[in-house]
Structure 1
Amino acid sequence: MRGNTVFPGLLVMSSISLSLYNRFTQKKEVFSPNNPDRVTMYVCGPTVYGPIHMGNGRSVVVFDVLFRVLRYLFSKVTYVRNITDVDDKINAQAKMLEISISDLTKQTTAQFHQDIEALHVLPVTVEPKATQHIPHMIAVIQALLDKGMAYISQGHVLFDVLKDSCYGALSGAHAEEILAGARVEIAPYKRNPQDFVLWKPVAEDDQEFWSSPWGDGRPGWHTECAAMSREYLGVSFDIHGGGADLLFPHHENENAQSRNAWGVSCPVKHWVHNGMLMIDGQKMSKSLGNVLLLKDALTQYSGSVIRWALLSSHYRHTLDWSASLLHQATQCVESVNRVLELPWDGKLCVDADILAYLCDDLNTPGALNSLHLLAKRALHDPDWVPAVHTCAQFLGIHGASICLTQEARDKIEKLVKEREYARGEKNFQYADELRKELENLGIVLEDNAQGTIWHKRV
């Protein structure tokens, strides 16, 4: 098979190089790990106060693909994705639901795992919880106090931003240019509005708090990741990932703490951020009422369809989530699944073009398009079936029995058109009967201004 190489498994060395866009240098670079025998990656995980939305799901899937590529290229990869189970939002949600914080975080963490497993996300190497690393966070804070980079005020410990001459180098937000009140808290206990909290004192109605040298309280969010990445990956590691919305202030503040606490100029070699997700051209927000939870999307579409849709745009670009995007993803997954249902001898091979796309700053749109073309070819030439199986597995696209015969398609199309006519005639009772008949056939309908899009529930 021209252009294909034997795929020896995920834990293998390869001569091909990986390039990634580094947010710190703002250019695409050849990825060069600190130690090729152990590649290290840290990605910010969920704050477990509720189910994750589709934007969170995009980040998880993007870095899952990167993890798969790294495991193909290098002999050992340590991937750390944390669970933030200490946060003001968690406290507020537990109070509203009138349950304990531990019950809330346990339930929400289980929901998170269930949702991402449906997207065929691989297990990470380590998944540390913030509550299990409070002593490590206290150590970070004490190191910053000892070096004069932090101060104590009214029971709070704060990072002194103006003492850090490199602050803003990652995000481009310079301390003197940050407007008071713009994503920073203005408080009387701060020397400067830009200073951020490392430790906050216990409030009267707090359910959960810990002892520290500065009194009872809990750590600031930015300190959590600095402590946990240090614990599992060392003072300097290869890749730090997360959504673009975390660049400032979270990653900027995390980077500032790590540099100053441990005395390293570059705690992270490559900063990688994925772009935001829009809903029908609008920013996803509670005020607009268009927040789409991953668990809700999974009731209508398979994990493979959602995963395909999430990877259909380059990870650094904004992705517009829409019915037409999901319709296209459904058709592509169905095409691939037709091949995955064909007999296969188990031989594994990866297509060189797909691997090249993935190694070029995770060009998943190019890789998915190549997989789609491979699937069309394999339907006529069985020699290509192993490549489709292997590359679908490599991209996390799993098979499912959603293929339809032409006779079944004709029947569905007839019912859909008949329903559209009934709606046009305002015969809504008959239209509803047709919808139910289609639902019994496992068909999901999406009505929009252009008409009705249908797909098979998988």
Structure 2
Amino acid sequence: MRLYNTLARKKQEFIPANGNAVNMYVCGITAYDLCHIGHARSSVVFDVLFRYLRHKGYDVTFIRNFTDIDDKIIKRANETGAEAGEVAERFIGEFYVDMDRLGVQRASVEPRCTEHIPEMIAMTEQLISQGNAYATPSGDVYFRVRSFAAYGRLSGRNIDELESGARIDPSEEKQDPLDFALWKAAKPGEPSWDSPWGPGRPGWHLECSAMSEKYAPLPLDIHGGGQDLSFPHHENEIAQSEAATGKPFANYWVHNGFVQINSEKMSKSLGNFFTIRDILEKFLPESLRYFLLTMHYRSPLDFSFDALEEAEKGLRRVYAALAQADAELAKTSWKKSPFPAELDEELAAIEGHWDEAMEDDMNTAGALGHIFSAVRLIGRVAEDKNWRKSEGGREFFLRAKAAMVRWSAVLGVFGHDPAEFLAQLRDSRAARAGIDPARVQTLLDARQQARKDKDFARSDAIRDELAAMRVEVKDTPQGATWDVAG
């Protein structure tokens, strides 16, 4: 497997530091608000990487933290009259609600900042003792950026570039404008913890360094997060961790790309900010998860509701093929007629190509493309009455379903009962189109009665009425079914 390593600026073969054991740390949310689509993308990307590494047989320890004390949390608490801890607890709970709906699995370890204050104080003391950090008279502690010669290695920035735009706020006691906070002295009314420098709380960057080191031996195999975290957050993590331990912090740095809304940066001020809840009011969770996988994780992802509807059509195609395979496998008798060996070979080749796509920097977009090759192949077999009725056809459908189970376990899509999911998808689309499923069923029943009474004029009129409602009717041996047109 090859992963793009931000530190090396190229794809590299993934070789864990400790044989079959893989340690992966991903920066989690700051728990002060509902999660938006950017959180959804990052969570799904690293969920798939977690699933795929385990699929390959690795013993994975996946660490994803919660920042449960921060300026934003304190601000939200002051606005609502709640305690900071209550705010964090509420939005951690909301995070789980959203991620459970999206099929994002729980991490192996999910540490919270406030539960690891002693580890953060110990790391800060170590850095001060080595001369990499200093305490100010007011009780703040800063990391000396110039004491770490490799600073800027991850983001590709150099000290001179950073210095040109750096300033010291008059309220700060920094020795250098580039230095960043490890510990912040308490302000009136804010949560605080005792420390050798007085009451205060940890800086954001320090949290991840202390928590990752506690739960995994350094170097970490993989450290991940959104592209926006590479600087300064991840750069600062490297500096403080490597200065404190003398060890490399992480071997592979994996960053997912930004989410844009209609080609613009998502922003509350622009009015194009969507939470996961906003989207799931109109679309099924699996539709959103599938959409997030349709673009390579490092590429920008342009979100729009039109794009989500297009992705939904692809999801429907896959489930329709699975329903088709299920219908064939429900048969009880099979013929001994010939079945072309090249069709089995083609399916095996598709499985190989899927593996190659995932091995190549977790290319889920390419992997989905190969799944659609399998969908087309299922359709070809189902359309040929001799192939689909043969014993070889039965074995083909079983192999195709088994492949889909394997793919589903990694991607986290296509795992529902096809008939049930297609009905849910139809109802979701009907709701967006303003179609009442109960009214449709009443009309279908009336049409069925008209056909039974041989009142074909009435039957045709009802069909026309349904078509005007954007309802497509399909007559099958089991009765009429319907879907939303388009």
TM-score w.r.t. the length of structure 1 is: 0.82
Against the structure 1 CA distance between its residues 140 and 167, is the aligned structure 2 distance closer, same or farther, given a 3 Å change threshold? same
Instruction: Pick the aligned partner of 1:403 from 412, 419, 422.
Output: 422
**Matched ranges for 1:262-301 at <5 A:** 262-264=245-247, 266-301=248-283
Q: How far off is 1:318 after superposition?
A: 0.4
Partner secondary structure for residue 63 of structure 2: strand
Alignment partner, residue 390 of structure 1: 406
Q: How far off is 1:164 after superposition?
A: 1.4
The separation in 2 between residues aligned to 1:73 and 1:283, in whole angstroms, is 36
Alignment partner, residue 421 of structure 1: none
Alignment partner, residue 72 of structure 1: 55
Against the structure 1 CA distance between its residues 337 and 235, is the aligned structure 2 distance closer, same or farther, given a 3 Å change threshold? same
**Matched ranges for 1:28-427 at <5 A:** 28-153=11-136, 154-178=138-162, 187-206=171-190, 208-264=191-247, 266-341=248-323, 342-343=325-326, 351-381=351-381, 382-383=397-398, 384-397=400-413, 398-399=415-416, 401-403=420-422
Against the structure 1 CA distance between its residues 261 and 441, is the aligned structure 2 distance closer, same or farther, given a 3 Å change threshold? farther
Q: How far off is 1:48 after superposition?
A: 0.4
Confirm or deny: 8 A CA contact 2:55 2:410 kept in the other structure.
no
The separation in 1 between residues aligned to 2:167 and 2:41, in whole angstroms, is 24
Confirm or deny: 8 A CA contact 1:180 1:194 kept in the other structure.
no
The separation in 2 between residues aligned to 1:94 and 1:20, in whole angstroms, is 40
The separation in 1 between residues aligned to 2:75 and 2:401, in whole angstroms, is 52
Alignment partner, residue 11 of structure 1: none
The residue type paired with residue 160 of structure 1 is R
More helix by share: 2
Return the index of the structure with the highest Cα Rg: 2
**Cα shift readout 1:38-65 (whole Å, capped 9, x = no counterpart):** 1110000010001111011101101111
Structure 1: stretches of 5+ with no match in the other structure: 1-17, 417-433, 443-451
Partner secondary structure for residue 434 of structure 2: helix
Against the structure 1 CA distance between its residues 439 and 168, is the aligned structure 2 distance closer, same or farther, given a 3 Å change threshold? farther
Partner secondary structure for residue 78 of structure 2: helix
Partner secondary structure for residue 422 of structure 2: coil
Against the structure 1 CA distance between its residues 48 and 186, is the aligned structure 2 distance closer, same or farther, given a 3 Å change threshold? farther
The separation in 2 between residues aligned to 1:172 and 1:335, in whole angstroms, is 43
Q: How far off is 1:127 after superposition?
A: 0.5
Which region of structure 1 is more displaced relative to structure 2, 59-68 or 384-393? 384-393
Confirm or deny: 8 A CA contact 1:277 1:321 kept in the other structure.
yes
Partner secondary structure for residue 251 of structure 2: strand
The residue type paired with residue 391 of structure 1 is W
Against the structure 1 CA distance between its residues 340 and 436, is the aligned structure 2 distance closer, same or farther, given a 3 Å change threshold? closer
The separation in 1 between residues aligned to 2:440 and 2:46, in whole angstroms, is 36
State the superposition RMSD in angstroms: 2.8
Q: How far off is 1:356 after superposition?
A: 1.3
The separation in 2 between residues aligned to 1:371 and 1:194, in whole angstroms, is 49
Structure 2: stretches of 5+ with no match in the other structure: 331-347, 382-396, 442-469, 473-482
Confirm or deny: 8 A CA contact 1:223 1:254 kept in the other structure.
yes
Partner secondary structure for residue 188 of structure 2: coil
**Cα shift readout 1:253-301 (whole Å, capped 9, x = no counterpart):** 011001100012x211000101100000100012212111012211211
| Identity among equivalent pairs (%) | 39
TM-score w.r.t. the length of structure 2 is: 0.77
Against the structure 1 CA distance between its residues 441 and 388, is the aligned structure 2 distance closer, same or farther, given a 3 Å change threshold? farther
The separation in 2 between residues aligned to 1:68 and 1:310, in whole angstroms, is 16
Q: How far off is 1:332 after superposition?
A: 1.3
Confirm or deny: 8 A CA contact 2:167 2:177 kept in the other structure.
no
Higher relative contact order (CA 8 A, sep 6+): 1
Confirm or deny: 8 A CA contact 1:339 1:385 kept in the other structure.
no
Against the structure 1 CA distance between its residues 227 and 273, is the aligned structure 2 distance closer, same or farther, given a 3 Å change threshold? same
Partner secondary structure for residue 351 of structure 1: helix
Alignment partner, residue 4 of structure 1: none
Partner secondary structure for residue 28 of structure 1: strand
Q: How far off is 1:90 after superposition?
A: 0.3
**Cα shift readout 1:351-402 (whole Å, capped 9, x = no counterpart):** 2221211110011100112122323323454242222233123210032634
The residue type paired with residue 35 of structure 1 is N
Q: How far off is 1:436 after superposition?
A: 5.7
